[in-house]
Structure formats: C-alpha cells, structure tokens
C-alpha cells in the first residue's frame, strides 16, 4: 500500500498548505503508471452566458484540500487500490476554440495510451466532446450518464457547431455514443420550443427531467440505469448546473429547481459496478462562487467518481 500515491494528510501539513493539487495528491507530468488521473481543462471560450469556468480547475483543486482518503458512507478506499495523481492542466489555446478541441483530444489520446482512467476538472462543457472523441477511439461507443440542467444537444450556437451547448449532439452524430445506453438526468428550465428534449428521445436517449427527481431518492432510478448500461464502457459527465443553485450557484448558466447534492451523490454512487472508463465535472465558475461551495461540491463529486471506478476496494 505504501508504494501507492496518497493524498497529503492533514496531520502532516496543514490543509491550507502543501501542494495545490487535487486532494493534495502527488503531481505527475504524465499518466504513465497511473490507474486514474485528475486533469484540469481550463477552458471557457465555448461558454454562451457568464464566463469564468476557466478558473474552475484551480478552484476545485483548492476546495478539494479537505477531502480525506476514505469514504465513510460507501467504505471505498480508492488510494488502497489505485495509483492516482494529478497530472495538471491541458495547455489549451485560449484564443482559438477549434485548436483547443484538438489539443484536448490529443492530450487524452496520450493519457488513455497508458491505460489510465481520466477524471477531468472543467472548464466549460465544450471540453467533453474532445474527451469523448479520445475515449471512443480507445473503447468504442460508450454509454453516457449525463447530469445537467441542459441537454446540450443544440445543432449550433450563434452559427457555431462546437460550443458548450452542442457537445452531446456532436458526440451522437460522430458515433461516439451507444445511444441506447445514454441517460440525461436533471434537465429543466425554459426552452426555445416544447420539443427541445425530443431530439434526445428520438436518438433513444433516456431523459429524466429534474421534476421527475424532485422529493425522492434516486437509488431506484440508478438501479434502472445500471440495467440500461450493462457491461459496456460508461462515461460520466456531470455539469455542476445539474445541481440546484442553492448547492451550486457558481456556474455560468443557472436554472432553478435542480437536483440536491445528496441526489448528485446517489447518481455517482449508483454507477458503482459499471465499467466506468472516465468522468468529468464541468462548468464550475468561481467568479459566482464566493463561498467556494460550488467548487467543493464539484471536488466531492469527482472524489465520488474515483470511489466507484472498477478495481477500487471497499473495506469491511
């Protein structure tokens, strides 16, 4: 166990000191030798409304400082089981979105070549498209658990095919998704037409609106999702705006009536047992997050994703 990377403990260095990495894990230049890696994508030039998600990775890392290694609820002990590190940020070109998309997919091709599972800190949701391109190149079309207030299936935004409101549509068109194994949870708000979510249903996606989640545990839903996902590869993409703004105000495109944080945790924990090949937590925008709580929710959900990865041991 001692030759596994461990988060720096709070009794070895005060929580407000030490490395500013995710969970104060060791920093590494490459994914070589890692089972899982945290990766920042400081991109927000695909944002349509309030910017700021470029600062998300840094703030998520900062707020992750208090996360301890052992999951008291699920008994997961990820650092007993997996070699994990923070491999830093993707060096995007902040003046050029299409170039940034290619930089991101090349970066993830390299990460995936080491057999490493990427867990990404966003960054706006545009970045999920190039990550999925790399993931599908390695694993084939994936099942998708997509938590979001928005379906992100616009055909274009301001005439552009690639933006933070289009990644799921492009991913489906490019054959990156196994469309019978896609679920979108938390969709809500106002639309351009009554048919806004019908494109998803026409593709075979399962759509679970926020209203269908209100006032209830999502454990039964996740039992159905596990059935839907089967044994195939699964990717989890969690837009922090899927949560209600009471829990996560620090994001660019806020919608009322969202999921609770316990529901968000039920969703991620409900993915345990699936063949999860990657995950991301997107759209944390620190300028609207003065308490840091939005970033803390994001850091916590990323930790929960780590805890459900294949191969993680659960203590008795």
Binding residues vs Mn ion (CB under 5 A): 125, 148-150, 152, 239, 241
Whichever of 44 and 148 has its CB closer to Mn ion, that residue is 148
- Least distance in Å: CB of 190 to Mn ion? 13
How many contiguous H segments (helices) and E segments (strands) does the chain have? Answer: 10, 8
- Least distance in Å: CB of 240 to Mn ion? 8
Whichever of 116 and 145 has its CB closer to Mn ion, that residue is 145
- Least distance in Å: CB of 91 to Mn ion? 23
Whichever of 11 and 190 has its CB closer to Mn ion, that residue is 190
- Least distance in Å: CB of 89 to Mn ion? 20
- Least distance in Å: CB of 31 to Mn ion? 25
Edge to edge, what strands does the sheet with 233-239 contain?
Answer: 84-89, 36-41, 117-122, 275-282, 233-239, 142-147, 177-187, 206-209
Whichever of 241 and 280 has its CB closer to Mn ion, that residue is 241
Residue 73 CB neighbour total at 10 angstroms: 9
Whichever of 84 and 297 has its CB closer to Mn ion, that residue is 297
Instruction: Report the alpha-carbon distance of residue 10 to residue 16 in Å, rounded.
Output: 9
- Least distance in Å: CB of 298 to Mn ion? 13
Give the residue from 311, 297, 231 showing the smallest Cα distance to 267.
Answer: 297
Q: Report the SS3 class of residue 101.
A: helix
Residue that the structure tokens 């620090």 belong to: 250
Whichever of 78 and 252 has its CB closer to Mn ion, that residue is 252
Q: Give the residue ranges of DSSP H helices in 192-282.
A: 198-203, 210-213, 219-229, 261-269
Instruction: Report the alpha-carbon distance of residue 162 to residue 307 in Å, rounded.
Output: 32
Strands 36-41 and 84-89: parallel
Half-sphere exposure for 96 (CA within 13 Å, toward CB): 9
- Least distance in Å: CB of 129 to Mn ion? 11
**Cα dihedral: 58, 279, 210, 43 (round 10):** 40
Give the residue from 225, 232, 181 showing the smallest Cα distance to 203.
Answer: 181
- Least distance in Å: CB of 150 to Mn ion? 4
Whichever of 7 and 123 has its CB closer to Mn ion, that residue is 123
Instruction: Report the alpha-carbon distance of residue 75 to residue 295 in Å, rounded.
Output: 23
Whichever of 258 and 270 has its CB closer to Mn ion, that residue is 258
Residues 245, 247, 252, CA angle at the centre, nearest 5°? 40
């Amino acid at each position: 166990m001692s030759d596994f990377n461990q988060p720096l403990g709070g009794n070895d260095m005060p929580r407000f000191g030490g490395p500013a990495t995710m969970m104060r894990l060791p920093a590494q230049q490459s994914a070589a030798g890692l089972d899982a890696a945290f990766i920042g994508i400081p991109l927000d030039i695909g944002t349509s409304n309030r910017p700021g998600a470029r600062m998300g990775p840094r703030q998520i890392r900062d707020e992750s400082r208090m996360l301890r290694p052992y999951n008291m609820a699920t008994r997961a002990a990820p650092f007993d089981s997996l070699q994990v590190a923070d491999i830093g940020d993707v060096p995007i070109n902040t003046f050029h979105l299409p170039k940034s998309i290619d930089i991101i997919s090349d970066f993830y091709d390299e990460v995936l070549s080491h057999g490493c599972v990427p867990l990404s800190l966003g960054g706006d949701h545009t970045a999920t498209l190039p990550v999925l391109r790399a993931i599908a190149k390695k694993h084939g079309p994936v099942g998708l658990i997509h938590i979001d207030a928005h379906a992100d299936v616009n055909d274009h935004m301001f005439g552009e095919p690639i933006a933070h409101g289009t990644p799921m549509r492009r991913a489906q068109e490019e054959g990156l998704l196994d469309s019978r194994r896609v679920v979108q949870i938390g969709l809500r708000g106002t639309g351009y037409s009554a048919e806004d979510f019908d494109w998803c249903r026409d593709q075979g996606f399962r759509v679970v609106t926020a209203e269908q989640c209100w006032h209830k545990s999502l454990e039964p839903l996740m039992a159905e999702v596990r059935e839907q996902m089967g044994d195939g590869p699964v990717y989890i993409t969690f837009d922090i705006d899927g949560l209600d703004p009471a829990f996560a105000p620090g994001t660019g495109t806020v919608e009322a009536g969202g999921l609770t944080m316990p529901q968000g945790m039920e969703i991620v924990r409900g993915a345990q047992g699936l063949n999860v090949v990657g995950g991301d937590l997107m759209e944390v925008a620190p300028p609207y997050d003065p308490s840091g709580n939005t970033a803390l929710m994001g850091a916590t959900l990323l930790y929960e994703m780590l805890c459900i990865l294949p191969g993680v041991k659960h203590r008795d």
